[in-house]
């Protein structure tokens, strides 16, 4: 049974899992103390919950509890990582390397560093030749771009539009070899892929609970505390929380929820990856059966590990994507990043992989998730088919 409207926009956000809500609720009602209140049991209980959650998040990422900073989400974590590292390490150099297909929560802070603080920013192009690796960076190009004054390399783990998974461990190794700090925006990867910050040589990593069935407004930044230890300039001053790096009363309920959401996601990771890639592939083959001019955006769906298993992004030939979404109100999909949907510019990600403006405008993104069923996929295909027939009849 499918209930309308159908939600297929899990890259934008996910529904909070009822099991997470249950664990979180007491921290809004009975255990409501401020974890910073050191003089009474309300504060101690809240602090204990934060400590246990920090331990749990660290374990999930193969990190140490002291490496985890709680923030309001990935946008804040990205800003803290980029501006925090760059502004604290200006004496070492003023060069940063990142990628053309990053989210605006990376590109905009980089732009500010460039304009306001006179940093030199290199944005690497991505591959669009080999169908298996579309959207990945070239490691040789990265190595060639590293200079003596490079302070930071920031490469997203998995892309929010086309699902490309970057060769993170190799990038980490390269950065370590050249003594450059490595940050990854892992917002779309945490909870969907196994991550070991040590094995992957990650120095800083951003993540956000609402992408893995936790609530909005809570996230984290992993900051390695041993080995090549990044020094950060805080962006927010105040009560000295989080070692002075991120002041502000901790969001106890959100933090508890995020830790539990991540545990659940990792417990179910294997079975969910298989289930979702089968559903996603079924969606794609149904769509290709109906529309002969369908074009896949991003890496092949063949399971070589270069694409998120829940992601599909396709170009519907001559159909306008916005018009298609408007005429299919019972299906929630997207034309790209939710965060830039107020910006009518065609997607910079699709442009970077060589799509024309017309192809970009005809493209739509599907993000399947924990609550997507086979029936949802079949109904979604029927809804889209009916809409496209209507739109084509109007021309």
Do the strands 150-154 and 95-99 form a parallel or antiparallel pair, or are they unpaired?
parallel
- Selected catalytic residue, list 86, 175, 315, 339: 339
**47 or 164: CB nearest ligand PMP:** 164
String of DSSP letters for 107-163: HHHHHHHHHHH--EEEEE----SSTTSTTPPPHHHHHHH--TTEEEEE--SB-TTT-
Strands (E), the chain: 6-7, 68-71, 95-99, 120-124, 150-154, 181-185, 204-208, 219-223, 294-296, 311-316, 331-332, 363-367
Quickly count: other Cβ atoms within 10 Å of residue 41's Cβ.
Answer: 11
Give the nearest distance from C-beta 186 to ligand PMP in angstroms. 8
Contact 365, 334 (CB under 8 A): yes
Cβ at position 359, least distance to ligand PMP in Å: 22
CB nearer ligand PMP, residue 186 or residue 232? 186
**What is the closest distance, in whole angstroms, from the C-beta atom of residue 120 to ligand PMP in the complex?**
23
Per CB under 6 A, residues contacting ligand PMP are 73-75, 103, 105, 156, 160, 185, 187-188, 208, 219, 337-339
Closest CA to 154 of 171, 134, 135, 178: 171
101/348 Cα distance (integer angstroms): 7
Residue 188 Cβ, how far from ligand PMP at the closest point, in Å? 5
Q: Which residue has the tokens 């599909």?
A: 312
Residue 339 is among the residues annotated as catalytic for this protein: yes
Cα–Cα distances (Å) from 59 to 17, 127, 257, 269, in that order, read 21, 34, 15, 15
Between 311 and 372, CB nearer to ligand PMP:
311
Residue 212 vs 291, nearer CB to ligand PMP: 212
CB of 10 to ligand PMP, least distance (A): 11
Asked whether the beta carbons of 150 and 95 are under 8 A apart, the reply is yes
**Active-site positions?**
339
């Amino acid at each position: 049974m499918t209930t309308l409207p159908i939600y297929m926009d899990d890259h934008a956000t996910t529904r909070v899992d009822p099991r997470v809500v249950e664990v979180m609720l007491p921290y809004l009602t009975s255990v409501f103390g401020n974890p910073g209140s050191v003089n009474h049991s309300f504060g101690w209980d809240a602090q204990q919950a934060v400590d246990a959650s920090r331990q749990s998040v660290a374990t999930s990422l193969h990190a140490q509890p002291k490496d985890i900073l709680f923030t309001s989400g990935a946008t804040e974590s990205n800003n803290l990582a980029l501006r925090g590292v760059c502004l604290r390490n200006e004496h070492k150099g003023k060069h940063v390397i990142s990628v053309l297909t990053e989210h605006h929560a990376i590109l905009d802070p980089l732009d500010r560093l460039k304009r306001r603080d006179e940093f030199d920013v290199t944005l690497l192009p991505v591959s669009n030749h080999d169908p298996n690796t579309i959207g990945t960076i070239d490691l040789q190009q990265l190595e060639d771009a590293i200079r003596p004054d490079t302070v930071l390399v920031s490469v997203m783990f998995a892309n929010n539009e086309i699902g490309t998974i970057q060769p993170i461990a190799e990038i980490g190794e390269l950065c370590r070899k050249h003594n450059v700090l490595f940050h990854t925006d892992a917002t779309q990867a945490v909870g969907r892929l196994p991550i070991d910050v040590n094995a992957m040589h990650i120095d800083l990593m951003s993540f956000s609970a609402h992408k893995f069935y936790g609530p909005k407004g809570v996230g984290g930044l992993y900051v390695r505390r041993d080995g090549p230890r990044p020094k950060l300039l805080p962006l927010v001053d105040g009560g000295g929380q989080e070692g002075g790096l991120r002041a502000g009363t901790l969001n106890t309920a959100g933090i508890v929820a995020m830790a539990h959401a991540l545990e659940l996601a990792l417990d179910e990771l294997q079975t969910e990856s298989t289930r979702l890639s089968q559903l996603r592939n079924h969606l794609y083959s149904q769509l290709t059966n109906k529309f002969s001019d369908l074009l896949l955006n991003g890496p092949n769906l063949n399971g070589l590990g270069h694409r998120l298993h829940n992601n599909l992004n396709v170009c519907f030939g001559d159909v306008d994507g916005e018009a298609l979404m408007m005429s299919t109100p019972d299906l929630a999909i997207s034309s790209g990043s939710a965060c830039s949907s107020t910006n009518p510019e065609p997607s910079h990600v699709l442009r970077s992989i060589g799509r024309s403006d017309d192809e970009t405008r005809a493209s739509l993104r599907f993000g399947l998730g924990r609550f997507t069923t086979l029936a949802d996929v079949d109904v979604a295909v029927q809804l889209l088919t009916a809409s496209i027939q209507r739109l084509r009849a109007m021309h």
